[in-house]
Amino acid sequence: MKSSAVYERLQTRLRDVTNLRAAAAVLEWDQEVNMPPKGTDARGRQLGTLNAHAHTLFTCEETGDLISQAGEDAEHLDPDARSLVNEAAYDYDRARRIPEVFVRRFSEARSRAYQAWLEARKRSDFALFLPHLETIVRLCREEAEYLGYRENPYDALLEGYERGMTTAELRRIFSVLGTSQRELTARIGAAQESPGPDWLRQSWDVNRQWEFSLRVLRDMGYDFDAGRQDRSAHPFTTNFSIHDVRITTRLSEDDFFSALFSSIHEGGHALYEQGFREEDEGLLLAAAPSLGMHESQSRLWENLIGRSLAFWTHYLPTLRELYPGQLDRVGAEQLYRAANRVSPSLIRVEADECTYNLHIILRFELEVALIEGNLAVADVPAAWNEKMKRYLGVIVPNDALGCLQDIHWSHGSFGYFPTYALGNLYAAQLFNTMKQEVPGFDAQIERGEFRGCLDWLRSRIHRTGRRKTAIEIIHEATGTPPEPGVFLAYLESKYGSLYNLG
Amino acid sequence: MKSSAVYERLQTRLRDVTNLRAAAAVLEWDQEVNMPPKGTDARGRQLGTLNAHAHTLFTCEETGDLISQAGEDAEHLDPDARSLVNEAAYDYDRARRIPEVFVRRFSEARSRAYQAWLEARKRSDFALFLPHLETIVRLCREEAEYLGYRENPYDALLEGYERGMTTAELRRIFSVLGTSQRELTARIGAAQESPGPDWLRQSWDVNRQWEFSLRVLRDMGYDFDAGRQDRSAHPFTTNFSIHDVRITTRLSEDDFFSALFSSIHEGGHALYEQGFREEDEGLLLAAAPSLGMHESQSRLWENLIGRSLAFWTHYLPTLRELYPGQLDRVGAEQLYRAANRVSPSLIRVEADECTYNLHIILRFELEVALIEGNLAVADVPAAWNEKMKRYLGVIVPNDALGCLQDIHWSHGSFGYFPTYALGNLYAAQLFNTMKQEVPGFDAQIERGEFRGCLDWLRSRIHRTGRRKTAIEIIHEATGTPPEPGVFLAYLESKYGSLYNLG
């Protein structure tokens, strides 16, 4: 077969796999947003069939042959085609290292662990989850052996979420982050008046919150002809193509910020997915290179733009119109302060910018110890509570608010948490460079003009897709590899002036 | 292999096929209800992949072997299992008669014809559609030859929508229907004052219409924990399992009846699909035996119950509450009359009970002539217009309001239209028997109690699924095979008294 014919057949195969995966994503979106309660069982079976078909189609010998034949003729391909073949080879190789029987076993264990976790969290009873978590850890260790690694079995898992990142490198980064963020949080704690301002404790009409979130998303550049926002219990972003990228948010009448920051966060993810190249549509390259890189986009929009004084300066008049009488005596500075309150708390997803990474470091340390075999699963609650006290100064009253709060372990997603912290670091590095390269950046934000920001992200990040790793992209875009310094300097500068720290 | 093992493998295979088809149905529902406009192309490709996988999985040799092995051991199976194997064999045999290459060719021709039809209808220019319709007719004739038939090639197509029904039988039924309905319509035309009542020409709040439709659906017995209603341009019913059956409706502020009757109609379809047996879930038996039988359920609820005096008597107080002041001088009798106005019109989907079948007979006659080769496609507009004048006394001003009004031909669905008329006949026959067998039927409806009606339909129709043909089900439930007399007697009685016909 001619090399171009092989390459075309490979493209067709990859598009078919993408189509099956996209169909599964539609079914999952529907499950969270629309599905009537009795539809659950059938939906589980439908997703099972779809995922099995997609997996089989991608990992079969025929796909492997197409990839290796296309790879042999790689010198006749243009650079994009070569990238595609390389990425396909990478995914194929990783998928084929795991035996089919193990995939099924792991999948069944996850389903059971998830059900047990739901119940355990509800009753705040770690014992109910313990045997399942033991199984999950054992299977993750087994998976690491199948996947292979050089130094640490945790590296093998990490690779699935943040390619090229290592346990050793994370330890180095997190050691710097942890010390500095604990120290900063302590200084803020001493300086901050609690509780928060009285004006926040009003009722905020949810329809107005919805309207405002749509307005901000539109301003950010989110294309509603290629997406939509809905409500769901847990906000998320999903895509079925470059031209159908959907987000969800949740609305709470008591909470002025929650829906907005959810929408901006998911909007940041969505802008990334709407920004891949048209010619990559349906192929592997229309994807982020890592979860950390994906998270950098959501956090950059949510925290570095959405929690800036310029942002609130621009939107204050809009908000006063939306909530007549409710914000008459509140200025942009007060909105900015309220959006940036720092208070060490029990729950990761509610954590502020100063303390968020501390929650991640705690989880990372426990995960590594579990995978290395240096921590027994039964000892997780005690270890969790001890670290919460040490890192955040918080006493954990029960496991529901402690080590049972996250879904990730029940899903078997060991190695996932660090990407949240990396997202923060990448975001700070990107933002720092963007501010230097986009003329009049702050003034643009104050005018509600996000086009300069979006264009910069499109050209440096979005349009690259998976052609480079996150580490390469950050290095090229900012001149330095991932490192904690820029993020820490950002925190120091922002919170130093907010709290008049010496 | 042991016979039970073969049967189990067959079940698993059929469930997998069902899961892929259900996934496609979710994607189609989403396309009509939620999808942002730019998502169209990717969705088309996703559906293409899903449908191809489902088709291949069902029509492959392995499935055929499972069916024939299970069939050879049929005497060891219980009756339900035998039914399943028989139905699988029937579908498999029919699907395998069509060559793969023809399936693809037809599918591509349909896509092109649909696009051409959209444009032709928009511009009211039949010439744009002509070459595509010629291709479709040629392919339908080719398909009929692949499928095989005894008397008439149209029989082969009809079989796909109304199993066991023949062109000859339809000619006999439609000849009686056509004569009687034309004559009744003429008598009503002479007796009816036009235009309709003044009170109808008010603005009807769409949120109240929505609320009312939900109320009626709930009263009918539609389970909202196993379904939902949404808005779409064209109302439809779809299901992804017995426990997830969704309907759509459309809302128009000017139209008091449109949303309601759409909801009741689709609700009738949905009650059927929520009423299949739990043990048939995911297998071929959880389906209607024909489109005519499915349509009988929607029409029975919409026309024979929803357009009855008892129905309006029950809901008048509710409606007066929903529309304060708007119905003060309107009684149940006037609502009933307004819901049953007769007026021959150009558009099938807007036709009343008296004239609807005349639209169908016209299409049936043209379809048969086209498939038999007795009518040239180029002569369709003239033949259409001539029949509209003769059957309905209506002058067709242009093809958009004439032979271009329906989507069906662009989809290649020759043989589909007659099932709408059969639905009317079946509904009248079922209703007639049900009224005799359910004690105090009219009084139940007047109290808004539909349980007796639903239970009767569940036991006589819904729970049978595909175990019998529509013709067998009607015969057993009513004592007579499908025939036009009961429907005509119903029309004569209802409209005779509404219009004081002699």
Closest residue in A to B18 (Cα) is A46
The nearest CA of chain A is from the CA of B32 a distance in Å of: 13
Cα A364 to Cα A371: distance, rounded to the nearest angstrom: 11
Cβ neighbours of A43 (radius 10 Å): 22
SS3 for A162? Answer: strand
The pLDDT, as a whole number, for residue A4 is 82
Residue B147: name the closest of B188, B110, B199, B106 by CA. B106
Q: Is A215 in CB contact (< 8 Å) with chain B?
A: no
Q: Is A19 in CB contact (< 8 Å) with chain B?
A: yes
Cα A49 to Cα A43: distance, rounded to the nearest angstrom: 10
Cα B52 to Cα B164: distance, rounded to the nearest angstrom: 28
ipTM for the whole complex: 0.93
Of the candidates B87, B162, B266, B353, the residue annotated as catalytic is B266
Asked if A294 and A243 touch (Cβ cutoff 8 Å), the reply is no
- Beta strand A244-249 with B229-231: parallel, antiparallel or unpaired? unpaired
The pLDDT, as a whole number, for residue B104 is 86
Which residues touch B116 (CB under 8 Å, ≥6 apart)?
B128, B129, B131, B132, B410
Cα A493 to Cα B56: distance, rounded to the nearest angstrom: 62
Cα B240 to Cα B274: distance, rounded to the nearest angstrom: 11
Q: Is B28 in CB contact (< 8 Å) with chain A?
A: no
Asked if B188 and B342 touch (Cβ cutoff 8 Å), the reply is yes
Phi then psi for residue B240, to 5 deg, are -115, -5
For residue B416, give Cα distances in angstroms to B159, B254, B367, B409: 10, 31, 10, 9
Cα A207 to Cα A205: distance, rounded to the nearest angstrom: 6
The pLDDT, as a whole number, for residue B189 is 83
For residue B370, give Cα distances in angstroms to A67, A99, B376, B386, B389: 50, 57, 7, 16, 20
Q: Do B36 and A244 touch (CB under 8 A)?
A: yes
Chain B residues whose beta carbon lies within 8 Å of the beta carbon of residue A23 = 23-24, 26-27, 46, 49-50
Q: Is A408 in CB contact (< 8 Å) with chain B?
A: no
For residue A438, give Cα distances in angstroms to A271, A434, A455, B88: 18, 6, 9, 64
Q: Do A244 and B15 touch (CB under 8 A)?
A: no
Q: Which residues sit opposite B239 in a β-bridge?
A: B245
Q: Do B53 and A53 touch (CB under 8 A)?
A: yes
SS3 for B491? Answer: helix
Q: And the tokens for A94?
A: 């990783």
Chain B residues whose beta carbon lies within 8 Å of the beta carbon of residue A49 = 15-16, 19-20, 23
Rounded to two decimals, what is the model's pTM? 0.94
Cα B325 to Cα A475: distance, rounded to the nearest angstrom: 70
SS3 for B376? Answer: coil
Question: Tell me: the pLDDT tens digits for B402-452?
Answer: 999 999 999 999 999 999 999 999 999 999 999 999 999 999 999 999 999
The nearest CA of chain A is from the CA of B36 a distance in Å of: 5
Cβ neighbours of B269 (radius 10 Å): 24
Q: And the tokens for B93?
A: 């045999």
SS3 for A344? Answer: coil
Bond preceding residue B79 cis, omega within 30 of 0: no
Q: And the tokens for A482?
A: 């991932």
The nearest CA of chain B is from the CA of A48 a distance in Å of: 9
Residue ranges of chain B whose pLDDT lies below 70? 1-3, 193-194, 502
- Sheet of B237-241, strands arranged across: B229-231, B244-249, B237-241
Which residues touch A139 (CB under 8 Å, ≥6 apart)?
A102, A105, A106, A109, A412
Chain A residues whose beta carbon lies within 8 Å of the beta carbon of residue B46 = 19, 22-23, 26, 240
The nearest CA of chain A is from the CA of B447 a distance in Å of: 29
Number of H helices and E strands in chain A, helices first, is 20, 3
Q: Do B42 and A243 touch (CB under 8 A)?
A: yes
Q: And the tokens for A146?
A: 């199948």
Tens of each residue's pLDDT in chain A, 502 residues: 556 899 999 999 999 999 999 999 999 999 999 999 999 999 999 999 999 999 999 999 999 999 999 999 888 899 999 999 999 999 999 999 999 899 989 999 998 999 999 999 999 999 999 999 999 999 999 999 999 999 999 999 999 999 999 999 999 999 999 999 999 999 998 877 667 789 999 999 999 999 999 999 999 999 999 999 999 989 999 999 999 999 999 999 999 999 999 999 999 999 999 999 999 999 999 999 999 999 999 999 999 999 999 999 999 999 999 999 999 999 999 999 999 999 899 999 999 999 999 999 999 999 999 999 999 999 999 999 999 999 999 999 999 999 999 999 999 999 999 999 999 999 999 999 999 999 999 999 999 999 999 999 999 999 999 999 999 999 999 999 999 999 999 999 999 999 888 6
Q: Do A226 and B39 touch (CB under 8 A)?
A: yes
Of A26, A50, A243, the CB nearest to B30: A26
Q: Is B41 in CB contact (< 8 Å) with chain A?
A: yes
Q: What's A367-398 look like in SS3?
A: HHHHHHCCCCHHHHHHHHHHHHHHHHCCCCCC
- A102-139 burial by CB neighbour count: b if 16+ within 10 A, else e? ebeebeebbeebbebbeebbeeeebebbbebbebbbeb
Please report where in the chains the tokens 């372990």 appear, as a residue: A409
Q: Is A231 in CB contact (< 8 Å) with chain B?
A: no
How are the residues of chain A apportioned to helix, strand and coil, as percentages rounded to the nearest 5? Answer: 70, 5, 30
Closest residue in A to B244 (Cα) is A39
Residue B365: name the closest of B379, B384, B378 by CA. B384
Asked if B212 and B253 touch (Cβ cutoff 8 Å), the reply is no
Q: Is A48 in CB contact (< 8 Å) with chain B?
A: yes
The nearest CA of chain A is from the CA of B142 a distance in Å of: 30
CA atoms within 13 A on the CB side of A365: 19
Cα A114 to Cα A121: distance, rounded to the nearest angstrom: 10
Asked if A226 and B39 touch (Cβ cutoff 8 Å), the reply is yes
Closest residue in B to A22 (Cα) is B46
Q: Is A178 in CB contact (< 8 Å) with chain B?
A: no
Q: Is B51 in CB contact (< 8 Å) with chain A?
A: no
DSSP sequence for A216-279:
HHHHHT--GGG--EEE-SS--EEEEETTEEEEEE---TT-SSHHHHHHHHHHHHHHHHHTS-GG
Q: Do B16 and A49 touch (CB under 8 A)?
A: yes
Of A22, A34, A42, the CB nearest to B228: A34
DSSP sequence for B32-99:
HHT--GGGHHHHHHHHHHHHHHHHHHHHSHHHHHHHHHHHHTGGGS-HHHHHHHHHHHHHHHHHHTS-
Q: And the tokens for A326?
A: 């409710």
Q: Is B291 in CB contact (< 8 Å) with chain A?
A: no
Which residues touch A255 (CB under 8 Å, ≥6 apart)?
A204
Q: Mutate one of A231, A244, A273 to test the B interface: name it (highest B CB count within 10 A).
A: A244
Chain B residues whose beta carbon lies within 8 Å of the beta carbon of residue A240 = 39, 42-43, 46
Question: Tell me: the pLDDT tens digits for B350-394?
Answer: 999 999 999 999 999 999 999 999 999 999 999 999 999 999 999
Catalytic residue flag (residue B159):
no
Query: Could you tell me the end-to-end alpha-carbon distance of chain B, in angstroms, rounded to an integer?
Result: 71
**Start-end of H helices in B324-373:** 332-338, 356-372
Asked if A438 and A158 touch (Cβ cutoff 8 Å), the reply is no
The secondary structure element, H or E, covering residue B310 is helix B309-322
The nearest CA of chain A is from the CA of B365 a distance in Å of: 41
Q: Is B227 in CB contact (< 8 Å) with chain A?
A: yes
Q: Is A232 in CB contact (< 8 Å) with chain B?
A: no
Conformation bin of residue B446: beta by default, left when phi > 0, alpha when psi is -120 to 50: alpha
